[in-house]
Chain A
């Protein structure tokens, strides 16, 4: 399969969206485009299986390389392994659901869909780049659409939130940039090529400086404590699809970068700083969970719980075992689907009740059985019910972490496990209050989900259940990629 399609398709869709005359055409084009992305992601998945089945053991498949700024030794180098395929699948799921959920956007529809598609373009490009320069290029492409999405279509303190998000993410990417330049000049190869860099031994002194730069830089994207503060503001101010993209795709860019770029090409640095990463991620997990307990707004609940859940991603990376890193990627996929669904449901509820305060809602199950059922499913997934994706992913992280015999990592794992209890408390409390009890006055006329909302929810639920019931396919997809990183680590 030609990976360029993954970039060209969103690009063509985005341009086509701009050329459309009215909102109806815009929506049709955006939906067709995102459906095509969806199909393409599956074509990629099966193409990947097929290649592997025929015995192709190359680390990266479908590689392509074009000259781009040859004087800087930059090339447009694309390729995927299992980890990237998993992330691309996630992106495709979230994009189509996001497009469907935004069906009722009336303000500047064309621009809205244009930015959504542009964001997906950045994400796909990021996941398939094997050259750090273009990886960085796509990382930054994805920032400004978020800023505009929040600032124009958001609610509440939207300008503040949009500014905070854009500046923090850009500061993160500035650190990434400095780290990349450090790597570039540390070897005589003067290369940004990931494959080439992974073969070289980057000097230890460089790793000591550049690893934290890259890890913190990417970490800002994925809510590394204490750089998580944009998460609650950004998510709660964003429009529904914006939150879905932010939590479902954008935060995963950071996790993927931490794993693929920082840890993979600088294993010595990763080992050296592993302790700090573990401490910070455990803090994020516990702090996020406890902070969620105090929230009264549904979006804030999910935003803070995202901080907690993304902590598992970083914990899995920090533990540096094959299983834990596989778990980290699975957690990224699982959390991406789950949180996108959660935000979608919150958006649906808000559109009907015009409130997100848990205390102002009650008995909604009577009026909106479909939406509230989805809310139950997503809540149970969030608290880690077996059979849904959250359980599988978190379990894998814990198992990987427990493989370390030393006390420090054991204690860290146990502490992280404790957060599950807290999660159960806040999720059950919020969901029961919303769904059960007497129906709040004034909500008697509310309607259940429309076709597009149902379709969006079903697509995401299908993903969650597919991972939850049959985790092996995702595990098989991801673990060879983690294995390669492990080999580099133990060398």
Chain B
């Protein structure tokens, strides 16, 4: 019993919060402002609780497992959710159904926690569904907007499709090996054609969730249609969680077939980086822009994953931590501006610096971090991913990745140029930022600067691996 409480602590805390919100909602209810404050405090406590009383072990015959690394990954996700609750305060306060929104978001987060902790393909499938379906409901949260419903529809269709493929893959694996347990699978895998087919199906399901090319087509539409809070949740938290479990599956379960998936990862990494970057070049809508840029970022994560080493997994987790700060900062600024301008066009950013220096600097930091420019943390994150990937010794691969950083720099600089250089006779007025959103942006900015320069953070992550 004690084991159960300590090992499943993150999940239990989240479940507790969900029920608490439900009771508050069913009871008298609170004013939106108070409610949001309560939620923010709860999420902060949830994040802090992640650092105490952590143990390693398995439950339910290996269905559920947890290690220090897994706890750390959950903490990163909790941090991201806390930041989301801060950054989009403006939108939350206006929303009629805010408690429901957070209940859905936390359910999805719960699903992701189980996903990361899963030790069996069936558990994995269940958790994946739990982490996806609430997000589709969240995508529909701008109830009066057609685009929002469209996004939810596209999301649910594509995830149903990928779930189907995943189930097919799982059934093939079970047929080929007679087991679905992560612990037993490696001994049964020998690279037979059937197993390779199963790997490909499993891989495609992951590729859908991570929006790896050629399974990325849903991303931009869903990102564009969804409310900004959902978009950022999708692009940061959801992607982070799937990347974690993707890496764990490849490294632990499919280790015997390493030679097979290395080529797969490498080719898809190149395709993802190039396609993501090329599409991002011409986007006018900031959400679509960030969608394609996040596709390209996944390409870089794949470079790190391809290394198949402790250095690789450390740098992926490190990169995702940085990515949480950088991407959320960019979305936070974009949300503040979109609320004021009523549109999400990059042209609205022209001359932003004249009226909103704070937002401009945060946006610049975030974009530089995404582009990998020092001294921001993104520089270190990308560099370590490339270094880990380079250990395999493929020059061409690394040159392509490095040149992709240049392409991405071009479009990030385009936004920087609008903000700092382009003249605009009627720039946006000074935007009044919610105090909590300001706090969120400051945390993000501090994270972007400090996570890179303080090298012990990297060592801490490595010590967990």
Interface residues of A (CB under 8 A from B): 67-72, 74, 137-138, 140-141, 143-144, 147-148, 151-152, 158-159, 162-163, 166-167, 170-171, 174-175, 177-178, 181-182, 184-185, 209
Cα distance A74–B402 when bound, in Å? Answer: 20
Interface residues of B (CB under 8 A from A): 311, 314, 368, 373-375, 379-380, 383-384, 386-387, 390-391, 393, 395, 398-399, 402-403, 405-406, 409-410, 413, 416-417, 420-422, 455, 458-459, 462
Contact partners of B413 in chain A: CB under 8 A: 147, 163, 166-167
Contact partners of A158 in chain B: CB under 8 A: 421
Contact partner of A177 among B368, B402, B458, B462, CB < 8 A?
B402
Q: Is the CB of B373 within 8 A of A143?
A: yes
Q: Is the CB of B386 within 8 A of A209?
A: no
Contact partner of B375 among A137, A151, A159, CB < 8 A?
A137
- Contact A144 to B368, CB < 8 A, known contacts A174-B405, A177-B383: yes
Contact partners of B417 in chain A: CB under 8 A: 151, 159, 162-163
Q: Is the CB of A163 within 8 A of B410?
A: yes
Find the A residue at minimum CB distance from B414: A163
Find the B residue at minimum CB distance from A151: B421
Cα distance A174–B354 when bound, in Å? Answer: 33
Q: Is the CB of B374 within 8 A of A140?
A: yes
Find the A residue at minimum CB distance from B396: A178
Contact partners of A152 in chain B: CB under 8 A: 420-421
Contact partners of A175 in chain B: CB under 8 A: 402
The smallest beta-carbon distance between A7 and chain B, in angstroms, is 11
- Contact A178 to B405, CB < 8 A, known contacts A70-B459, A71-B311, A163-B413: no
Q: Is the CB of A185 within 8 A of B393?
A: yes
Q: Which of B368, B421, B458, B462 has the most CB of A within 10 A?
A: B421
- Contact A181 to B409, CB < 8 A, known contacts A69-B458, A140-B374: no
Classify the secondary structure of A's interface with B: helix
Contact partners of A72 in chain B: CB under 8 A: 311, 384, 387
The smallest beta-carbon distance between A130 and chain B, in angstroms, is 17
Q: Is the CB of B375 within 8 A of A174?
A: no
- Contact A178 to B462, CB < 8 A, known contacts A140-B379, A144-B373, A147-B413: no
Find the B residue at minimum CB distance from A182: B395
- Contact A209 to B395, CB < 8 A, known contacts A70-B459, A71-B458, A177-B383: yes
Q: Is the CB of B402 within 8 A of A167?
A: no
Cα distance A363–B371 when bound, in Å? Answer: 50
Give me 14 other A-B pairs in contact (C-beta within 8 A), A174-B403, A181-B398 excluded: A137-B379, A140-B379, A144-B368, A144-B373, A147-B416, A152-B420, A162-B417, A167-B409, A171-B406, A174-B406, A177-B383, A178-B390, A182-B390, A184-B390
Find the B residue at minimum CB distance from A210: B395
Q: What would 16 A/B residue contacts be, using CB atoms closer than 8 Å?
A: A70-B459, A144-B373, A147-B416, A151-B417, A159-B421, A163-B410, A163-B413, A163-B417, A167-B406, A167-B410, A170-B406, A174-B406, A178-B399, A181-B386, A181-B390, A184-B390
Q: Is the CB of A185 within 8 A of B391?
A: yes
Find the A residue at minimum CB distance from B382: A177
Q: Is the CB of B402 within 8 A of A174?
A: yes
Find the A residue at minimum CB distance from B387: A181
The smallest beta-carbon distance between B239 and chain A, in angstroms, is 25
Q: Is the CB of B403 within 8 A of A137?
A: no
Contact partner of A71 among B379, B416, B422, B459, CB < 8 A?
B459
Find the A residue at minimum CB distance from B453: A68
Contact partners of A209 in chain B: CB under 8 A: 395
Q: Is the CB of B373 within 8 A of A71?
A: no
The smallest beta-carbon distance between B313 and chain A, in angstroms, is 12
Cα distance A177–B311 when bound, in Å? Answer: 18
Cα distance A170–B455 when bound, in Å? Answer: 24
Q: Is the CB of B393 within 8 A of A69?
A: no
Contact partner of B462 among A71, A151, A167, A185, CB < 8 A?
A71
Q: Is the CB of A178 within 8 A of B398?
A: yes
Cα distance A181–B382 when bound, in Å? Answer: 13
Q: State the 6 A-B residue pairs at the shortest beta-carbon distance, nearest first.
A: A174-B402, A181-B390, A151-B421, A69-B455, A140-B374, A171-B406
- Contact A171 to B403, CB < 8 A, known contacts A71-B462, A159-B417, A177-B386: yes
Contact partners of A143 in chain B: CB under 8 A: 373
The smallest beta-carbon distance between A257 and chain B, in angstroms, is 16
Q: Which of A144, A147, A167 has the most CB of B within 10 A?
A: A144
Cα distance A163–B47 when bound, in Å? Answer: 41
The smallest beta-carbon distance between B461 and chain A, in angstroms, is 9
Cα distance A147–B421 when bound, in Å? Answer: 11
Q: Is the CB of A170 within 8 A of B375?
A: no
Q: Is the CB of A184 within 8 A of B379?
A: no
Cα distance A3–B416 when bound, in Å? Answer: 34
Q: Is the CB of A184 within 8 A of B387?
A: yes
The smallest beta-carbon distance between B29 and chain A, in angstroms, is 45
The smallest beta-carbon distance between B384 and chain A, in angstroms, is 7
Find the B residue at minimum CB distance from A74: B455
Contact partners of B420 in chain A: CB under 8 A: 148, 151-152
Cα distance A182–B398 when bound, in Å? Answer: 10
Cα distance A436–B399 when bound, in Å? Answer: 53
Q: Is the CB of B390 within 8 A of A185?
A: yes
Cα distance A171–B400 when bound, in Å? Answer: 11
Contact partners of A70 in chain B: CB under 8 A: 455, 459
Cα distance A147–B383 when bound, in Å? Answer: 21
The smallest beta-carbon distance between A444 and chain B, in angstroms, is 34
The smallest beta-carbon distance between A320 and chain B, in angstroms, is 26
The smallest beta-carbon distance between A304 and chain B, in angstroms, is 25
Cα distance A68–B420 when bound, in Å? Answer: 34
Contact partners of B373 in chain A: CB under 8 A: 140, 143-144
Contact partners of B384 in chain A: CB under 8 A: 72
Q: Is the CB of B409 within 8 A of A166?
A: yes
Find the A residue at minimum CB distance from B380: A69
The smallest beta-carbon distance between A133 and chain B, in angstroms, is 8
Cα distance A253–B87 when bound, in Å? Answer: 40
Contact partners of B409 in chain A: CB under 8 A: 166-167, 170
Find the A residue at minimum CB distance from B375: A141
Contact partner of B405 among A151, A170, A181, A185, CB < 8 A?
A170
Contact partners of A141 in chain B: CB under 8 A: 374-375
Cα distance A345–B403 when bound, in Å? Answer: 38
The smallest beta-carbon distance between B353 and chain A, in angstroms, is 8
